[in-house]
Amino acid sequence: MISVPAVLQNYSSDAVLADELGGYDKKKWRLFKWSNGQYVESNVSFTPGAAYWLITKNGEQINTGPGKSTRIYSSSKISLFDGWNMVGNPYIFPINLAEHVGLSENVEPTLYEWNGSSYNNTTNMMPKGGNWVYSNGNGTMEFFPIWKPGLLSEVEVIPEETADEEDFNWKAKIITKAGNRYDETATFGVHESASDTWDRLDYHEPPVIGDYISMAFDNDSWAKNGGSYSQDIRSDARTQTWNLAARSNIKGIVSLSLEDVHSIPSHQDVRLVDPVLGIVYNLRSEKAVTFTSQGNENPYYFKLIVGEADDIQSQLDDMGMVPTDFELFQNTPNPFNPVTNIRVSLVEDARITLKVYNLLGKEVNTLALNQSLSKGNHRFIWAGKDDNGYQLPSGVYLYRIEINSHVGRQLYQSTKKMVLMK
């Protein structure tokens, strides 16, 4: 994301970029702006305070041409549209959001910057770069590069409860990875002044571009400012439940881990529920949780529950998370490429062996070998590879499970077909 911290003599994108990049050629470089809730590929005018996505085949250093620096002895104001805005630092030096920027009260007091593989929250605006900022209705950002007492008295700066980390009862973050892309902004927690619906401590999930993985809090049901959020802070209730939605255009295995779980009070359980597969993960003991993406950008839903053990168990019972029979389910998706899920239900603690065979009966992959599992629902992922990691050809494969008690008594066995299709 780029911006120009100057008032140029010729501010058209052709004049600024063509010398180094050549005439506009989608195979060599592309330029996007955000307009009316979507990306628009077009010529733009480089003005201080505006930012754009520039995608180039080869890295280049851009000479913008002659211009004047933005004046620093008076404020500079940017008008913000309802929703997302791409903004740039209008000055040639870094600007701190809390110290030198006034926000109208409907503007979320955080910025997002792209680091090449994920977004980061930041309160610093670097020169020549760009940031996302969200406004609930039309708003303004006013820059005061030279601070003087009383200069920000007429505008709102970052609220104290947002800036003071000590006021959080606790806060944790979900890190999600798909391929070489990350989502590192999904933050949840409890704050003494927060509500269970929208408030100033809740931040929207920024728009994606290119290959991506997004893990957001699904708050479409909120009466006020409903939508997808990267941060959702709640009140200090006995038990809280967050709805999560993962989206990606990358095919393959996605991993999820919890950062700062130690900040959550030790007497509270932390459970991640996959309601489709009926699987419950204990995020205090699980280092990472994996699931599959078909790369179609459809949401994959989870529930994140933090609270007292009996409250959580009651919710799990209501959701039907306790199996009533041993069962090997049909893999999903089927046919599949490149990965598929195999779900197993256990009505008691047991040992399982789960293997994959070709149609000649040759064993090609062992997913579990006499593995001890607790009662409940479990999921295995097969990526269409043999035990040596080599990709197998398209075709029909068999998967077979044997479930035994811990003393060796056979409890269940089943075989099903699945189709690997490239």
- The Cα 302–Cα 319 span in angstroms is 12
In one-letter notation, the amino acid at residue 69 is S
Q: What is the pLDDT of residue 158?
A: 47
- Burial code (b: 16+ CB inside 10 Å, e: under 16) for 6-38 equals bebeebebeebbeeebeebeeeebebbbbeeee
Residue with tokens 């030198």: 100
Neighbouring residues of 272: CB distance < 8 A, sequence distance ≥ 6: 256, 280, 281, 283, 286, 289, 302, 303, 304, 305
- The Cα 234–Cα 63 span in angstroms is 47
The H or E element containing residue 365 is strand 363-373
CB contact at 8 A, 169 and 191: yes
For 327-420, give the CATH class: mainly beta
Q: What is the pLDDT of residue 153?
A: 46
Q: For the chain, list residues with pLDDT below 50.
A: 149, 151-161, 163
Other beta carbons within 10 Å of 255: 15
3-state SS, residue 22: coil
In one-letter notation, the amino acid at residue 26 is K
Structure-block tokens of residue 184: 């590192």
Q: What is the pLDDT of residue 164?
A: 59
Domain spans in the chain, listed from the N-terminal domain onward: 2-158, 161-318, 327-420
Q: What is the pLDDT of residue 159?
A: 45
CB contact at 8 A, 239 and 312: yes
Q: What is the pLDDT of residue 152?
A: 47
Q: What is the pLDDT of residue 373?
A: 96
Structure-block tokens of residue 75: 């404020």
- Burial code (b: 16+ CB inside 10 Å, e: under 16) for 175-187 equals bbbbbebbbbbbb
- The Cα 89–Cα 1 span in angstroms is 12
- The Cα 102–Cα 157 span in angstroms is 5
Burial class from Cβ neighbours inside 10 Å (0-12, 13-18, 19+) for residue 254 reads: buried
- The Cα 309–Cα 312 span in angstroms is 5
CB contact at 8 A, 89 and 127: yes
Other beta carbons within 10 Å of 292: 21
CB contact at 8 A, 191 and 168: yes
Nearest to 286 by CA among 302, 300, 310: 302
Strand order in the sheet with 29-35: 2-3, 51-56, 29-35, 38-41
Q: For residue 80, list its beta bridge partners.
A: 139
Q: What is the pLDDT of residue 160?
A: 43
Other beta carbons within 10 Å of 231: 21
Single pTM value for the model? 0.89
The pLDDT tens digits for 285-316 are: 998 999 999 999 999 999 999 999 999 999 99
- The Cα 7–Cα 363 span in angstroms is 68
- The Cα 125–Cα 216 span in angstroms is 24
Other beta carbons within 10 Å of 44: 19
388 alpha carbon, distance to own chain's centre: 32
